Structure 1
């Protein structure tokens, strides 16, 4: 696992898993939220986001966490491993509630996440498995034929996966 893309619904734990893996594997970590948004939390132009990712994927090793299905094919073309956090909506909603409690809102300095809970974000989470998951699966089939796909479906499954990686790397 040298080039890892971590994807999943908001609140699924992408940033947490990415930080843990980056520490265990001693790999550079990129949070797509830090690329997608400017300092005023406005989205950057899509071509700029794509260009930034095109540069990042040339690295020998990396962990890139974030969704952005429009640029997922860029990451899939270079990744050797994709970790898909396919957790239930209630777990993801709990995840954003925990994040709000922990960080008290605002932009997180370490991962670029802007802790903003809106009704549209809640609707996105509630509908993710019906709308985005099929799109992500299609993109994985179309562009990710050579990647090792690891799908986790619960927090417990995620923790067991991280523990296994720790054991395998003796960390």
Structure 2
């Protein structure tokens, strides 16, 4: 487990898990939201973003959290582990709203400074329909992949159990 990709719905806790995993395994963590979004929620040019991701993936060890469909296939080809947080829509919606309230008027730690936490109807719809629309595509891609390790976690309690049972010297 040296090149780890953490994916799943908004509000699932990808950034939190990636930070915890990075600390436990001493592997650098890259939040794709931080790379893509510039202050004021200005998106990075797609080609520049893709090039940055390719540069980061050239390293021997990394943890990347985020979906970003435009780079998902190349990240799936380069990772040795995928952690898919496949939680219920209600868990993710509740967590997204909680996060919005917790970081009201400020940028959260895994986001670019100057991107104040926000929530809008499109984001809530994306979360609500994630398990119907995006998750089946992700599962299909994972089933066709040759990735060494796929960890499919369906609840926060399953994630906690998996994480707590993971040794810090996990086959690096």
- Structure 2 length-normalised TM: 0.90
Unmatched tracts of structure 2, length 5 or more: none
User: What is aligned with 1:75?
Assistant: 75
Q: 1:127 aligns with which of 120, 126, 129?
A: 129
CA distance in 1, matches of 2:151, 2:102: 28
The answer (yes or no) to whether the contact 2:38–2:44 under 8 Å persists in 1 is yes
Deviations 1:52-78 (A, max 9, x none): 110000111110001112211121111
After TM superposition, the structure 1 = structure 2 runs for residues 1-171 of structure 1, keeping only pairs within 5 Å, are: 1-108=1-108, 110-112=109-111, 114=115, 115-142=117-144, 144-165=145-166, 168-169=167-168
Question: Post-superposition, which runs of at least 4 consecutive aligned residues in structure 1 deviate over 6 A?
Answer: none
- Structure 1 length-normalised TM: 0.91
Unmatched tracts of structure 1, length 5 or more: none
CA distance in 1, matches of 2:148, 2:43: 29
Structure ranking higher in helix proportion: 1
CA distance in 1, matches of 2:52, 2:148: 21
CA distance in 1, matches of 2:142, 2:69: 10
The answer (yes or no) to whether the contact 2:82–2:147 under 8 Å persists in 1 is no
